[in-house]
Structure 1
Amino acid sequence: MKFNTSIRRAGAAAAVAGLVVVGLAAYAQAQAPQPLKIGVMEGFSGVYGDLTQGEVEAIQMAIDDFGGKVLGRPIEVLQADHQTKPDVGAAIARKWYDVDGVKMITGIGTSSVALAVRKIAQEKGMIDINTGAASADLTGPACSPTGAHWVYDTYSLAKVTGGAVVKDGGDSWYFLTADYAFGHALERDVTAVVKAAGGKVLGGVKHPLSTQDFSSFLLQAQASKAKVIGLANAGQDTINSIKQAGEFGITKGGQRLAGLLVFSTDVAALTLPVAQGLVLTEAFYWDLNDETRAWTKRFRAKKDKIPSMLTVGVYSSTLHYLKAVQAAGTDEPKAVMAKMREIPVNDVMTKNGKLREDGRLERDMYLFQVKTPAESKNKDDIYKLIATVPGNEAFRPMSEGNCPFVKK
């Protein structure tokens, strides 16, 4: 009887000790700083898949450069493929904000997805920093007090590339346009630039996203006799349309191709013999200066490919966001956005950039021309700089954007 009593006492003591240990562990976990969560959402597969490779590595570089923590909290990155589908992107954003505790989403390429995600972010009062989609509506009718548009937009692409082509004699245009929000916005904005410069648009044709065969579209463009065929598409669609235009002898026949959203990765895929002479607008080029070359060397140790402006865009947006969280002393979205607007943007891609009230980051844009094989020193030597366009000239004036909360 005494023996059983001793066993019961020992068991009770062990149970109490166990509860104490569990309680202490729970207390320690409760006291440990919770991670600040950042999400990167992109079309990591499909028509834009090649453009977005390396973005996760670039975000990690930003976190490492910042010091790995902010306000004493570790920083955690979530990633997801929205498959270029607006409903998928919206569902991911809702789960990240509501369930997973994500405080900022960046990337978000594909304008239709970006506009869907923007609605969710605005509804939740959360931060979305778009680095991949182009539609200028993101700082116009679809602007948000907690949203930003970071790298380029359809207005700047139209202004810089379209303006340069018209000035160089390309005063009649025909468009090959991706049939969704991005393509429509880009055609609209380039048309305005062409007409304002005294040029004319002879017509256009819209093609489905991820088109493999451009023959019928290119034949219509060829038959238009327009001096310039404007490619209001991107990614693999741009690559396919340029390649097939070469097969049809369109440029040899005297018509010019205007790549309205072309990336360094596209040029690498096309090769210089095919892409030579293309005039295009970018926000970044790896070989621009010593700083861009040094950053690229670090990036290529993680992902051996030329970084595009999308890659560096997520680096830049993440680094500036973390600076703003640190300066605000909180991750509360409105306080962070106020600091993001207050602090100048300075990094490898942007110098003395300003985040405007409507969410547009004003930064220099660069007009490049693709080198000929004879001009190139190696496979990555692809661009020659034609002009640097200041941000206040490249981007739409805030007074003209129709952002609902910006006072005119």
Structure 2
Amino acid sequence: MIQDRRTVLKTAAAASLVPAVGLVPARARAQSNTIKIGVLNDQSGVYREISGPNSVACVRQAVQDSGIAAKGVTVEVLAADHQNKPDVGATIARQWIDRDGVDVIVDVPNSAVALAVSSIVKEKNKAYFNSGGGTAELTGGQCSPNTVHWTYDTYMLAKSTGGAMVKTGGDSWFFITADYAFGHDLERNTTKFVQEAGGKVLGNVRHPLQSTDFSSYLLQAQQSRAKVIGLANAGTDTINSVKQAAEFGITRRGTKIAVLLMFISDVHALGLNTAQGLVCTESYYWDLNDRTRAFAERVKGALNGARPGMGHAGCYASVLHYLKAVGDMGAAAAKASGVEAVNRMKAMPTDDDCFGQGTIRADGRKLHPAYLFEVKAPGESKGAWDYYKLLQTTSVDNAWRPTSEGGCSLVRT
């Protein structure tokens, strides 16, 4: 068994190196003007479509758009599959930093893996930009001066989607929850907002990651007679939950499905006939404005015609902002201290085509608006990937957990 694990880890490490952005001689790679970025995510499992190769493509686009090469800085991009296992993700992160000289780790969907990687990056004083992981603990009790949490978190999702459902009459809930850090965190935060709004939670059930049969969970939810079934999961788990709920005719009986985390790739996989009417929160939508459309057009070829989701957009925007900081402080200084690189990023206003203008708080939370969308009916869609209609925008001031409530040691109280 030990040998099998070693084989897995060696294979993951060997597979981690993908063609670099700008090939350079081996001697030049060791020089202080070469930045190495490792994209660590799910390349083959439940979260592949919301991260995977498309996140790597968006990081490459950020390198190209940054213009950093004109300042004499070379960037290499690596990628690896953490297999949704904290031990595998932690081992790859450690090997990347110790053996391969990686300066930045990006993406990391799966909150359990994300927390493990954040700890290692802090220990090694490198930089970490989380886009795919949802737990708000990254800017709470387990915050780090080396980590920026860019795209979304469980607090924002719970407040936007959960709060909206209660306001429209969904005042009794039953949760179907992924049984790991992200799911627990999302259920806990949503419960808080439901109860604060006068609603109640009638029960919950937890399922293993990458489940295929949700029939027993949906049956328990139905038997509770809750008005809302809250799906505190993501990726193919969400897709399978929604598909099977539709097959059982749950919504036809008046029960609402609250998809607490859904990506545009999930809607694409479900199809509008199945997904129509679902409400979700995202921080990026490709057809939101001229700038979001421009970004989607630039990466469309690398994504084989697909549109980027918010996780991909977060990878792009965080790397773009980091490279602006590198250009400002110099590659050698950025490589020497991840804390100093992140501090420089926090000191600079953010501005990119995905999220517009924003800032990064002391606790590492990247600030931008959140958007509540409803999935269009087939007859409302005007073409490929035209899936959302905007219901409301939550401002920067209201979308995110106040620093006073997070318990982050980096925040002065």
| Pairing 1:35–2:40 present | no
Shift in Å, 1:71: 4.8
Change (3 A) 1:170 1:51: same
Indicate the residue corresponding to 2:156 in structure 1: 156
Contact residue 70 and residue 322 of structure 1 kept, 8 A: no
Question: SS at 1:211's partner residue?
Answer: coil
Shift in Å, 1:49: 1.2
Indicate the residue corresponding to 1:311 in structure 2: 312
Which of 356, 370, 376 is the aligned partner of 1:371?
A: 376
Indicate the residue corresponding to 1:47 in structure 2: 46
Q: Percent identity?
A: 53
Aligned residues: 383
Contact residue 33 and residue 74 of structure 1 kept, 8 A: no
Task: Return 5+ residue gaps in structure 2 as ranges.
Answer: 1-24
Question: SS at 1:160's partner residue?
Answer: helix
Question: SS at 1:284's partner residue?
Answer: coil
Question: SS at 2:230's partner residue?
Answer: strand
Question: SS at 2:120's partner residue?
Answer: helix
Name which one, 1 or 2, has greater alpha-carbon Rg. 1
Distance in 2 (CA, whole Å) between partners of 1:295 and 1:153 is 23
| Pairing 1:358–2:357 present | no
Change (3 A) 1:337 1:387: same
Contact residue 68 and residue 327 of structure 2 kept, 8 A: no
Distance in 2 (CA, whole Å) between partners of 1:381 and 1:405 is 41
Shift in Å, 1:374: 1.5
Indicate the residue corresponding to 1:291 in structure 2: 291
Indicate the residue corresponding to 2:345 in structure 1: 340
Shift in Å, 1:140: 0.5
Contact residue 295 and residue 354 of structure 2 kept, 8 A: no
Supply the AA of the counterpart residue of 1:362: L
Supply the AA of the counterpart residue of 2:41: E
Contact residue 294 and residue 353 of structure 2 kept, 8 A: no
Distance in 2 (CA, whole Å) between partners of 1:33 and 1:174 is 54
Supply the AA of the counterpart residue of 2:152: Y
Indicate the residue corresponding to 1:326 in structure 2: 327
Distance in 1 (CA, whole Å) between partners of 2:328 and 2:398 is 30
More moved, 297-306 vs 113-122:
297-306
Distance in 1 (CA, whole Å) between partners of 2:245 and 2:85 is 28
Distance in 1 (CA, whole Å) between partners of 2:299 and 2:67 is 17
Task: Return 5+ residue gaps in structure 1 as ranges.
Answer: 1-25
Indicate the residue corresponding to 1:383 in structure 2: 388
Shift in Å, 1:31: 9.7
Indicate the residue corresponding to 1:248 in structure 2: 248
Shift in Å, 1:404: 2.2
More moved, 384-393 vs 221-230:
384-393
Within 5 A, what are the aligned runs for 1:205-284?
A: 205-284=205-284
Shift in Å, 1:146: 1.0
Taking only aligned residues, the RMSD between alpha carbons, in angstroms, comes to 1.7
Shift in Å, 1:189: 0.3
Distance in 1 (CA, whole Å) between partners of 2:241 and 2:176 is 9
CA deviation profile, 1:259-282 (whole Å, cap 9, x unmatched): 000000000100011000011000
Distance in 2 (CA, whole Å) between partners of 1:395 and 1:254 is 31
Contact residue 33 and residue 72 of structure 2 kept, 8 A: no
CA deviation profile, 1:133-155 (whole Å, cap 9, x unmatched): 00001101110011110000000
Shift in Å, 1:334: 2.3
Contact residue 33 and residue 72 of structure 1 kept, 8 A: no
CA deviation profile, 1:100-124 (whole Å, cap 9, x unmatched): 1111111111001001111111111
TM-score of the superposition, structure 2-length normalised?
0.90
Within 5 A, what are the aligned runs for 1:180-219?
A: 180-219=180-219
Distance in 2 (CA, whole Å) between partners of 1:39 and 1:90 is 13
Indicate the residue corresponding to 1:56 in structure 2: 56
Indicate the residue corresponding to 2:69 in structure 1: 69
Contact residue 108 and residue 114 of structure 1 kept, 8 A: yes
